Structure 1
Amino acid sequence: MTNPESKPVLTTRQGHPVHNNAQQRTVGTRGPATLENYQFLEKIAHFDRERVPERVVHARGFVAHGEFEAYGTIGEEPAAVYTRAKLFQIKGERTPVSVRFSTVIGGRDSSEAARDPRGFAVKFRTADGNWDLVGNNLPVFFIRDAIKFPDVIHSLKPDPITFKQEPNRIFDFMAGTPESMHMLTWLFSPRGIPANYRTQDGFGVNTYRMVNAAGEAVLVKYHWKSQQGIESMTEEQAAVVQGQGLGHATQDAYDAIERGDFPKWELHVQIMSDDEHPELDFDPLDDTKTWPEDVFPLRAVGMMTLNQNVSSFFNENEQLAFGTGVLVDGLDFSDDKMLIGRTFSYSDTQRYRIGPNYLQLPVNAPRPGVKVATNQEGGPMSFAVDNRGASPHINFEPSSVAGLATADDSYQEYRPFVSGQIVKAPIARQNNYAQAGERFRTMPQWERDDLVANMINLLGQCDKHIQEKMIWHFTQCDEAYGKRVADGLGLTV
C-alpha cells in the first residue's frame, strides 16, 4: 500500500496502516486519553524497551564486517600440520567476519580516548559454523584466575557510592595482586590509549589449542598485527581529543571504511608443545605472561580486511554477541583458568542481555548454507524452529522414529591426560615481576617517561600505604622503575 506521494505507508508491527501518528485517541480535544489507544501503547511500550541492558564491560564499541583470507599455511608449513580447522586449509579461502572494537570499563556513551584496554573480538562465519576469537589490544591481563574477574572490574569501575573512578580503589586492588604489574606497565604506557581502532594490534590473550586430523594438539596464542602500524596517545594528547568529542575512534574507523581505505590485520600464531614446559620461568597458561617470540616465533596464518560498515547500530552492534566457547572443529580449549571462566561468563551474559534465543538473530547466526539442527525449544523471543529432520514432532535424541543423529565420531579426538588433587591453589610458577621489568626496559625512552608520569599522577591521589606497596612492586620489576616513581612521590624506595 502506498499513499498519493508514492511513499510506503506507515504501519504497526501487525501490518495495520497508521492513519494518524500525531495524536492519541482522547475524549474531546483536551482528553483524557482512552486506554484502547493500541497504536500508541504498542509504540510507547516498544520505545520503553528499545535498549537492551548495557554490557557490564565493553559497553561502547564499533562494529564492522569484512573477510579473512587464509594463506593455507601456518608460517612455512601447511596449516594441516597443526589444525584440521577448515578455514585455514586452502590458500585464498575467504571467511566472512564481523569485528567489534570496544573500550572496557566506560559506559556506552563514555570517551574512546580514555586510558583503558580495548576489546578486539572477531566472529568468523566458517563453513563449520561460527568461531569467536575474543581478546584485547594488549597481550596480557590483570589476573590469571577468573574467580577474580568481578573484583578487578569492580576496582576499575566507579565507586559504588560517589560514582567516581578512584585511583585509590584501583591501586588498592592492584597492590594486593602482584601478577597485575605486567598489565599495568602496558596499560599506563602510551599503549593504554590507542590513537584509534585501526592503529592497534589485537591479541587472543588466552591460550588455546589447535588439533590436527590425527588428534595431535599444540598450545597456541593468537596475534593480530595492524597493517596500518601502531599509534598511541599520551595523556595530554588524549585530553585534547576527548575535548573535541567522545567518539573519535568510531568516527575514524567508519570514515576510513566509507572512503575505501579498508583496514587490515594479519593473523599470526605462536605455537608450543602441549606440556608444562618446566624449562620456562612461567606457566604458559598464565594470562599475565607473554611467550618470548625468539623462542616461539610468530607464524602468519592469514589476512583480515574490514570493508563494510553496519546498516543498523542496534542490530549489528548492541545485539552482536561473542563467546570464548564458540570454537570450530580443529580448535580447542586449553586448561587456562581465565579461558574456562570466560567461556561460561560470556555466553551467560548474552543470555541475560539479549535473551536465550540470541543465537537466532541474523548477526549471530552462522553464514547461509550452515544448517542449524537442535532440539532446543521455546524461550522469550523465539522466532524460528531449528531443523529437526524428517519429523517436527521429535524434539529429543535418541529416537527410533525420526529426529536428529549425532555426528560421525570417526575423527580423532584429542584426549590429554591430567591427574592431580582437586585443590584451590595458585599455579606454581608465578614470576610476577620479570616480564613487567623486561617490558619497562625495552620501551622507548619517551614511553617510559610517560608511564612513570602517569603512575606518579595517579598514585599521588592514593593513600600513602598504597603508594608504598606499589613502589615496592615496581622495584621488584625494575629498580629504576620503582625509584623514578618513588622520587616523583617524594618517597624513598
Structure 2
Amino acid sequence: MNKPAEYALRGKVSQPPQGATAKPENLDATASTITESNESEKNGSKAAPGENLNQGPLLKHRADSLGRALTTNQGVPVGDNQNSLRAGLRGPTLLEDFILREKITHFDHERIPERVVHARGSGAHGYFECTEDITSLTRAAPFAKVGKRTPVFVRFSTVAGERGSADTVRDVRGFAVKFYTEEGNWDLVGNNIPVFFIQDAMKFPDVVHAVKPEPHHQMPQASSAHDTFWDFISLMPESMHMIMWQMSDRAIPRSYRTMQGFGVHTFRLVNAAGQATLVKFHWTPVLGTHSLDWDEAVKIAGADPDFHRRDLWEAIEGGAFPEYLLQIQTFTEAEAETWSFDVLDATKIVPEELAPLRTVGRLVLNRNPDNFFAETEQVAFCTQHVVPGIDFTNDPLLQGRNFSYLDTQLLRLGGPNFHEIPINAPVAQVHNNQRDGFHRQTIHRGRVNYEPNSLAGGCPFQAGARGFASVAERLLAQQATSEPTKLRAKPEKFADHTTQARLFWASQTPIEREHIARAFRFELTRVQTQAVRERMVRMLRNVDEGLAARVAA
C-alpha cells in the first residue's frame, strides 16, 4: 500500500495530516481514551509529580471561542445568527433552515434530569496530600507515601432542595470527594453529619419522599417543616439521633469552608497482605467549624440564595484555598463486637473515646470549575467506586447506596458510558470489554471484545494480585445454629435508638440546646396535624424531658 499517495495533490505527494496516519507532535490528540493522555506506557507522563493530573484530560475538552467565528455543531460557518430563513421578508420560516433547527433543538435538550437528592450543589478542583504513613493499614493509592498528592474534585450540596433552591436552608449537606488515582477513581460520598435517618436502604425512598415537597401542591421547597416529613420521623424511632443533629446548628453551616464532612458508614482499609481494619472517615476544616444563627440564615436566603456557592467561588478566586484534614478512626472487628452499638448501623457514631481520631492527610481546593454544567452538574459520585485498599462493610444502608447511586447516574446522564464524561474519567487507563451504548466516546481497535481470548494475546488480562480484591469475610455464623440464614431482620444492637441521641443532647452547650429547642418548635408549629406533633413530643421525652417540655410549650 502507498499510503502517502492517498494524499496526492496536483500530481505531488503531500504528507498526511497529523493524527490521520502520521504520528502527531502532540500525543494527546490521538490517545485511545480521554484518560490515556496523562500518564501511560504509551504516552509517558504529561504532568510533573504533585500537579493536578486530571487537568490534562480536561484540557482537551475545553473550548475558547476568543477570536473565532460562529459555526454549527458540524463546524459549518454561520453567516447570520440574527434571522431565520424565510420565504420572503414577511413569509413563513422554511423547514430547510438547518441552522435554526439545530440551534433550537439543542436548546430544547440542554437540561438533564436533576439529582433526586443533592440537586443544589457547588464544586471545586483540588488535591489530597498524604501526611502520615498508613501503608500498614491500606494499600490504597492516595496513601502510598507521605507527600503524595492525588487530584480530586469535590461537590458540596444541600439534600432536599431542588436545583434553584437557597443555600442556607436547614438541611443536611453533601460532602462528596472524587479521588483520581492511578488505580481508578475512589468516591468518598459523605455528608456534614456523621449519621443518617435510617438503618436500611429499604427506607431510603420513603425518607426522601417524606422530606420532599408534598406531592398534592409541591410545597414547601427545601424545607422539612411540613406534615409528611414529621409524620414519617415520628413513626421511625431510628431517626431520633439524626433528627437531633438536623435541628442543631450543624444543619445551617456558615460556609462550606467551615463545614465538617463524614463518610457516615463504616468501611474497611485493606493492606498489601490482605489484612482488613474497620475505618470511619472524617473531614475537618482547618478554619474551624462554624454555623449560622437561624434568623441570620433566613435573612441570607432571601438576600442572597447563592451565599454558600458565592463564598466558595470567591474564596478560591481570591487565593484563600479551603483546606480540610482527613482524619480516620480505626478499630478491629473484635473491638467492635464489645461495644453496645453496631458499627454497621448508620444511625450511630463511634465515640472518639473508643477510637481516637488520627490525621492522615489534607484536602486543598485550589481551582474553580471552568463550566458549571460540564463539571459540577455532570460529575457522578457512586459509593461503589472504590480502589484496591478500600472495601465495604455489610452496612445495609451502604449496600443499598452502592446500587442506587449507579442506577441514578444511568438515568441522569443517559446511559452506562457516563464514566467517559471528562469530569468522571479516571486518570488510570481503562481496558475492558464493556462496549458500545449511548454516547460512547472510545474507539476500540481490533475484533476481540471478550475474555478469555487467544486472538488478542489474551488481552486485556486479569490483574491478579494487583487488582481489587474483596476482603475474605466469614459470613452467616448463625449457620451453625438453628436460626434461618435468609431473613428480613436487624441485629439486636440496632434497636437502641435513644442512647446516642441523649449523648448528643448532653454534649451541647446551653445556647446550642436553646437553638435545638427553637428549631423543633419552628418546625412543628408548621405541622398541621395535631397527632403528629403530639407523637413527636412523646419521642423527644425519650431523649430529655426538659427538651420535650420546651418544645411543647
Would you call these one fold, judging by a TM-score over 0.5? yes
Once the 2 structures are TM-superposed, how far is the Cα of residue 426 of structure 1 from its aligned partner?
A: 2.2
Q: Which sections of structure 1, spanning at least 5 residues, go unmatched? A: 1-5, 74-78, 489-493
Once the 2 structures are TM-superposed, how far is the Cα of residue 274 of structure 1 from its aligned partner?
A: 2.5
2:521 to 456, 463, 483: 456
Secondary structure of residue in 1 paired with 2:244? helix
Q: Distance in 1 between matches of 2:466 and 2:219?
A: 57
Aligned partners of 1:68 and 1:94 also within 8 Å: yes
Aligned partners of 2:132 and 2:359 also within 8 Å: no
**What whole-Å deviation, never above 9, does each CA across 1:22-51 have from its counterpart, x for those lacking one?**
111111112211111111111111111111
Q: Distance in 1 between matches of 2:362 and 2:215?
A: 43
Q: Which residue of structure 2 aligns with residue 443 of structure 1?
A: 508
Aligned partners of 1:72 and 1:89 also within 8 Å: no
1:408 to 455, 460, 464: 464
Q: Which residue of structure 2 aligns with residue 262 of structure 1?
A: 321
Q: Which residue of structure 2 aligns with residue 238 of structure 1?
A: 297
Q: Distance in 1 between matches of 2:277 and 2:319?
A: 38
Once the 2 structures are TM-superposed, how far is the Cα of residue 243 of structure 1 from its aligned partner?
A: 1.8
Asked if residue 271 in structure 1 is aligned to residue 330 in structure 2, the reply is: yes
Q: Which residue of structure 1 aligns with residue 435 of structure 2?
A: 377
Asked if residue 148 in structure 1 is aligned to residue 213 in structure 2, the reply is: no
Q: Distance in 2 between matches of 1:232 and 1:409?
A: 46
Q: Which residue of structure 1 aligns with residue 68 of structure 2?
A: 8
Asked if residue 87 in structure 1 is aligned to residue 163 in structure 2, the reply is: no
Q: Distance in 2 between matches of 1:278 and 1:54?
A: 41
Aligned partners of 2:135 and 2:145 also within 8 Å: no
Letter in 1 for 2:531: H
Asked if residue 330 in structure 1 is aligned to residue 389 in structure 2, the reply is: yes
Letter in 2 for 1:379: G
Letter in 1 for 2:471: Y
Q: Which residue of structure 2 aligns with residue 364 of structure 1?
A: 424
Secondary structure of residue in 1 paired with 2:176? strand
The higher radius of gyration belongs to 2
Q: Which residue of structure 1 aligns with residue 451 of structure 2?
A: 397
Once the 2 structures are TM-superposed, how far is the Cα of residue 410 of structure 1 from its aligned partner?
A: 7.0
Letter in 2 for 1:423: L
Q: Which residue of structure 2 aligns with residue 99 of structure 1?
A: 154
Q: Which residue of structure 1 aligns with residue 401 of structure 2?
A: 342
Q: Distance in 2 between matches of 1:163 and 1:275?
A: 49
Q: Which residue of structure 2 aligns with residue 491 of structure 1?
A: none
Once the 2 structures are TM-superposed, how far is the Cα of residue 151 of structure 1 from its aligned partner?
A: 0.4
TM-score, reference length from structure 1: 0.93
Q: Which moved more, 1:276-285 or 1:339-348?
A: 276-285
After TM superposition, list the pairs within 5 Å mapping 1:470-481 onto structure 2. Answer: 470-481=536-547
Secondary structure of residue in 2 paired with 1:310? coil
Secondary structure of residue in 2 paired with 1:341? helix
Aligned partners of 1:204 and 1:221 also within 8 Å: yes
Letter in 2 for 1:30: R
TM-score, reference length from structure 2: 0.83
**What whole-Å deviation, never above 9, does each CA across 1:256-294 have from its counterpart, x for those lacking one?**
000100010000111121358342221111110000101
Q: Which residue of structure 2 aligns with residue 201 of structure 1?
A: 260
Once the 2 structures are TM-superposed, how far is the Cα of residue 469 of structure 1 from its aligned partner?
A: 1.6
Letter in 2 for 1:34: L
Q: Distance in 2 between matches of 1:413 and 1:232?
A: 39
After TM superposition, list the pairs within 5 Å mapping 1:63-212 onto structure 2. Answer: 63-73=123-133, 79-165=134-220, 167-212=226-271
Runs of 4+ with deviation above 6 angstroms: none
Secondary structure of residue in 1 paired with 2:82? coil
Letter in 2 for 1:434: T
Once the 2 structures are TM-superposed, how far is the Cα of residue 247 of structure 1 from its aligned partner?
A: 0.5
Identical-pair percentage = 44
Once the 2 structures are TM-superposed, how far is the Cα of residue 239 of structure 1 from its aligned partner?
A: 1.1
2:532 to 451, 466, 473: 466
Asked if residue 321 in structure 1 is aligned to residue 371 in structure 2, the reply is: no
**What whole-Å deviation, never above 9, does each CA across 1:320-345 have from its counterpart, x for those lacking one?**
11000000001001101111100111
Aligned partners of 1:25 and 1:37 also within 8 Å: yes
**What whole-Å deviation, never above 9, does each CA across 1:217-242 have from its counterpart, x for those lacking one?**
11111000011111111221111111
Aligned partners of 1:440 and 1:481 also within 8 Å: no
Q: Which sections of structure 2, spanning at least 5 residues, go unmatched? A: 1-65, 479-484
Letter in 1 for 2:256: Y
**What whole-Å deviation, never above 9, does each CA across 1:166-208 have from its counterpart, x for those lacking one?**
5211110001110111111111111111111111000000111
Secondary structure of residue in 2 paired with 1:81? coil
Aligned partners of 2:138 and 2:269 also within 8 Å: yes
Letter in 2 for 1:432: H
Aligned partners of 2:121 and 2:376 also within 8 Å: yes
Q: Which moved more, 1:413-422 or 1:122-131?
A: 413-422
Secondary structure of residue in 1 paired with 2:258? coil
Once the 2 structures are TM-superposed, how far is the Cα of residue 347 of structure 1 from its aligned partner?
A: 1.1
Aligned partners of 1:87 and 1:126 also within 8 Å: yes
Secondary structure of residue in 2 paired with 1:230? coil
Letter in 2 for 1:14: Q
Letter in 2 for 1:408: G
Q: Which residue of structure 2 aligns with residue 3 of structure 1?
A: none
1:222 to 281, 294, 303: 281
In 2 relative to 1, CA 139–473 (structure 1 residues): closer, same or farther, beyond 3 Å?
same
Letter in 1 for 2:129: E
Secondary structure of residue in 2 paired with 1:422? coil
In 2 relative to 1, CA 48–422 (structure 1 residues): closer, same or farther, beyond 3 Å?
same
Secondary structure of residue in 1 paired with 2:142? helix
Secondary structure of residue in 1 paired with 2:546? helix
Once the 2 structures are TM-superposed, how far is the Cα of residue 377 of structure 1 from its aligned partner?
A: 1.4
Once the 2 structures are TM-superposed, how far is the Cα of residue 453 of structure 1 from its aligned partner?
A: 1.0
